[in-house]
Structure 1
C-alpha cells in the first residue's frame, strides 16, 4: 500500500534533479562509510564496559567485514529481482536496525551478531546505491552526480576516527550507533519519494555454490588483510589469505561452468570496465593505506594528540569536496584518458610526498598539502567510477555494480595490509621497536610505488572512452566549428 501511495504521489511530478538523487544515495553511503571506521576509536572504552580485553574487540570490526564480503556479490541479483528502490530502502532499514541492536548490546557476543546484521545492510547499500544512481541519472549528468557520490566514500574513513574520539570523550560510545537512526529514517523517506523502482529483465538462477565459494574466499581475504595490520597476527593473517586464495581459485573454476555466476568475471572483457577495475584497484592501495598511516604518523612520529592528528587528517575530506565542481569541466576539456593519466600521477605522487613531512613543518602547510592530496585523489576515483560503466549494457548494470564494489572493498582493505606490512618491514630492517619517522616515510613511498603502476593501465583507455558522458568530443567539435 505504501508503495502505491508513493507511486501515486509521483505522477505528474518532474524527474528530480540529479543532485537530489546523488545526495540521497551519498547520505546513505556516508552513514555506512563513517560507521565502518568510527568504531575503531571506541574499542578500548567498549572493552572496559564489556569486561574483555581491547584486542578481543577486533572481532567487532572483522564481523562487519565478513558480512560485507559474503553479501556484496549477491546484491546485484537481489536488486534485479526485487527492484533497486525496494532493496535500497530495505538495506537502509536493516542497517539502522543493526545499529540499534549494536547500541543496545550488553556484551561482545551480542555486538558481533548485531554487526553481522549491520554488515548485511551495508553490503546492499554500497552497490545498490550506485546502481540507483546509474539507472536514475542521464549520462550527460553522470560525472557531476558521481563526483557528489564519491565524497562520502573518501571522507567517511577519514572522519571516522576523530568523530569516534569526540563521541567517546564527550558522550557514551553507544551514540556511535544511535546517530545512524535519524540519518537512516530521513534517507528511507527520501528514497521512497524520489527514487524510482527499477527491476532487471534478467531471470538468472541464483548461484548458490558460487555464493558460498565467493563468500568464503572474500571473507577470508578481508579478514586476512585486516588482521595483518595488527601486531602478532602475521601467521593467522597469512593462513586466512591462503584460504581465501584457494577458495578464490575454486570459484573461478566454478564460474567458467556456470551460466550466470554470482560474480561475472566476463565483465573484465569490457574494455572501459576492465581497465577501470584494474587501474582503480592499484590506486586504491594508496587510498586504503592513508587512513591507517596518517593518524599514526602524526601521533607517533610528530607527538600530536589524537584530536590534533584527526584535525589534520580531515584536510583530505575538504579537498575531496572541493573537487566536485571541477571534475566535469576538466573531463569535458581533456577527456577521461588524458585526465586519468595526468591526474593519476599527480595524485599518487602527492601522497608519496607525505614521506617528507617532518615535525618542524608548519601544520598549516601540511594541512594545505593534504587538502590538495584529497582533491586530486577524489577526482581520480570520480573518473574511474564513471567511465567504468561507459560500455556496460543496461541488463548487466547490476552485475557490474556488485562486481566493482566487491573489488573496491577488497582493495581498500588490502591497502591497510600493504601499509602495515611496509611499516613493519621498515621497522624490522632498522631494528626499531616503535615506528620512527623514516619507517613511515618508507611505508608512504612503498604504497604509492604500487599505485603509480596504474599509469600503465590508464594509458590503455581508449581516447574516446566515456566521450558521450564527459562531452569531450562535443567540446572538440564545437571548438573546430568556431575556427
Structure 2
C-alpha cells in the first residue's frame, strides 16, 4: 500500500477506537435500570459502573504517552483495543454489581489509551498541515458515539438484552485488532524518560479520595468517613507541590499554573463539567423510573441533545471572534446551568416537544461550552508545556465526569430519603447540579482577555470532548 492509503487506514483505525470509547460513555446510561433489575440492586447505586470507568481512564491517561514511547505506538494501541474488548466481554458476563465494576475498570484501562495513543499515532504519521483535518475526521466518530449511544442502548435492552451494550464492542474491536496488525507501521521503542510513578500515585490518590468522599455520605451516612477522604485528597494534592519542585521531570510541571488562563480554565472546566456530566446519567433515570418511559423512548429523548451539540460546533469560532472568550463563556455557562435547572420542571404532563427543546438547548450550549473551555485552557501554554497541560486537562475532564455522576446520584438519594419522594429527589438534584454549573460563570469571569486563535478553537472542536 502507498503512503496515502496507509494514512487513510490509520485514520479509520483511530476513528474506530474513538467511536468505541465515546459510545461506551453514553450507551450504558439508558440501560442502567435494566442492569440494576437484573442484578437485584437499586438503579442509583449503578453509578459506580460509570465512575469506575471514568476514574480508571483519568488515572491512566498520563501514562499513555510514556507507554507508546517505551513499547511502540503500534504495540500499545493493539493492547489497548484488546484490553477494552476483554473488559467488554467481562462486563457482559457480570452477574453482580461488584463484578461489573471490576470489569468496567478493565475496560477503563484499555479506554484510557485509545484516544491519546490514537492521536499520537496520527501526529507521528501525518504532516502538520494535515493534522487538524485528520483530527476533524476522527472527531466525527466521537460525535457519532454520543448520538447513537443512548438510543442504541435502549434498543438493545428492549429488543435483545442489556448484555449487548457491551458485546457490540467485540466485533468492532476484532476489526480494529486486525487493522492495527495489518496497517499500522511497525514502530520500535525509544529511550523514553523515566515515568513519574510516585507523582502519578499522588494525583491518583487525590482523585480516588475525592470520588469516594462524594459518594460516602449518601451511601452510608458516614460524614466522618467522607470528611476523612476529603482531607486525604487535599493532603495528597498538597504533597505533590513540594514533590514536583524537587524533581527534574515531574508528571506535571508546576510552571503550568504560571499561565493564568490555564489555571482558571482548569478549575472552570472541573466545576462546569460536574453539572453537565450529571445530566446524561440523571435524565434517563428520571424518564424511566419516574415518568414511565421505556428504555428505547428515553434513549430517543436524548437524541436532540446529541444532534444539537454536533450542529452547534460550527457556531463557536464566529461567536468567540465577536464577543471574546470571557463574555462567551460567561453567557454560555449561564445558559447551560439554566438548562440543567429547567430539567427539574419536566413532569408526566410536560409536552414532549417542550422537553425536546430543553434537551436540544442544553446539547447545543454544552457542546459549545466544551470546545470553548478546551481552547481557552490550552491555547496559552508554551510548546514545551503543551503535552503536560493537555494530559492534566484530560485527567480533569474524566474526573469531572465521574464526580458529576457521583454527586448527581448521591443528591437524588439524599433528597429522596429526606422528603420520601424520588421525583422530588430528582428535581432538587437538577437544581443543585445546575447551580454548580452556574457557579462556574464566576470562575470564568477571572479569565484574562487574549486574542482568539482560530486554530486553537478548531483544534479543540476537532478533538471532541
Same fold (TM over 0.5): yes
Corresponding residue to 1:285 among 270, 274, 281: 274
1:58 Cα shift? 7.1
Deviation at 1:363, TM superposition (A): 0.8
In 1, distance between residues paired with 2:135 and 2:451? 21
1:434 paired residue number: 421
- Counterpart CA distance in 2 for 1:340 and 1:197 is 43
Aligned residue pairs, count: 456
The corresponding residue for 2:79 is 90
Gaps of at least 5 residues in structure 1 are: 1-8, 472-483
Q: Structure 1 residue 388 and structure 2 residue 380: aligned?
A: no
Q: What whole-Å deviation, never above 9, does each CA across 1:283-303 have from its counterpart, x for those lacking one?
A: 102212212332343345544
**Residues 1:343 and 2:335 are matched in the alignment:** no
Within-5 A mapping of 1:25-40 = 26-34=18-26, 37=29, 40=32
Query: How far apart in 2 are the matches of 1:190 and 1:323?
Result: 33
RMSD over aligned Cα, in angstroms? Answer: 4.3
Which one is further off, 141-150 or 325-334? 141-150
Matched, 1:377 2:373: no
- Is the contact between residue 322 and residue 375 of structure 1 (CA under 8 Å) also seen in structure 2? yes
What's the counterpart of residue 437 of structure 2? 451
Alpha carbons of structure 1 residues 10 and 90: separation in structure 2 relative to 1, 3 Å: farther
Seen in structure 2, the aligned counterparts of structure 1 residues 150 and 335 have a Cα distance that, compared at 3 Å, is: farther
2:139: which partner in 1? 149
* Pairs within 5 Å for 1:307-318: 307-318=296-307
Aligned to 1:121: 110
Tell me the distance in 1 between the aligned counterparts of 2:208 and 2:281: 20
Distance 1:57 1:300 in 2: 14
Q: How does 1:196-215 map to 2 (within 5 A)?
A: 203-215=192-204
TM-score (norm 2): 0.79
The answer to whether the 8 A contact 2:344-2:430 is kept is yes
**Cα-to-partner distance string for 1:89-142 (whole Å, 9 max, x where unaligned):** 432222113223444567777655543322211122244445566776858984
CA distance in 2, matches of 1:223, 1:126: 26
Give the alignment partner of residue 464 of structure 1, picking from 441, 451, 465. Answer: 451
Unaligned runs of 5+ in 2: 459-465
Of 337, 349, 352, the match for 1:360: 349
Q: Does 1:218 align with 2:196?
A: no
Measured after TM superposition, the shift of residue 154 of structure 1 is: 9.9
Relative to structure 1, is the Cα distance of residues 10 and 397 closer, same or farther in structure 2, using a 3 angstrom cutoff? farther
> Which deviates more from structure 2 when the two are superposed, residues 374-383 or residues 106-115?
106-115
Contact 1:140 1:469 in 2 (8 A): no
Pick closer, same or farther for the CA change 1:37–1:398 going to 2, 3 Å.
Answer: farther
Distance 1:272 1:182, change over 3 A: farther
TM-score normalised over the length of structure 1: 0.76
Residue in 2 that maps onto 1:409: 398
Structure 2 residue aligned with 1:266: 255
From the superposition, tell whether residues 448 and 174 of structure 1 become closer, same or farther in structure 2 (CA, over 3 Å). closer
Moved more, 61-70 or 448-457: 61-70
Q: How far, CA to CA, are the matches of 1:18 and 1:386 in structure 2?
A: 26
Select which of 3, 20, 25 maps to 1:11. 3
1:433 shift after superposition: 1.0
Q: Which sits farther off after the overlay, 180-189 or 378-387?
A: 180-189
Cα separation, partners in 2 of 1:413 and 1:182, compared to 1, 3 Å: same
| Cα shift readout 1:365-388 (whole Å, capped 9, x = no counterpart) | 211221121011111112222343
Residues 161-172 of structure 1 mapped to structure 2, 5 A cutoff: 163-172=152-161
**Within-5 A mapping of 1:103-118:** 103-104=92-93, 113-118=102-107
